[in-house]
Amino acid sequence: MLTIMSKEVSPSVLQLLEKNTGKKVRVIIDRNFGFEGVIETVSSDPPGLWLSNADAIIIRTTLANPLPQVAGREDRSEIFVNLNSVQRIEIVHQD
């Protein structure tokens, strides 16, 4: 899991994301919303990710299950996600 705290994205974060090109990731924008897709390329200006096979996801938690779970999906095909608006990035391991 990668957490982006500052508004300026460091080169090491971009390098880490470039190493994960071709892998499926979950990009959390806020507490209830994010995107899931495959990293196609990483951009440094503006700092961001191009995701293919992307889905917009709705995330929910409950008192009974406090771990965030994907509650809904909507196909988005390809999307650019600006890293300045990202709270968290997770690599999705496929079994």
Q: For 73-92, what is each residue's pLDDT tens digit?
A: 999 889 999 998 999 999 98
Say whether 91 sits in a helix, a strand or coil: strand
Residue 21 structural domain = 2-91
For 47-60, what is each residue's pLDDT tens digit?
999 999 999 999 99
Looking at the 3D structure of the chain, how many domains does it have?
Answer: 1
Provide Rg for the chain, Cα atoms: 13
Total-model pTM: 0.79
pLDDT score of 81: 93
CA-based nearest residue to 70, from 28, 17, 38, 23: 28
Residue 30 has pLDDT above 70, yes or no: yes
Where residue 53 sits, what CATH number does that domain have?
2.30.30.100
CA-based nearest residue to 1, from 94, 89, 92: 89
* Contact criterion met (CB below 8 Å) for 19 and 42: no
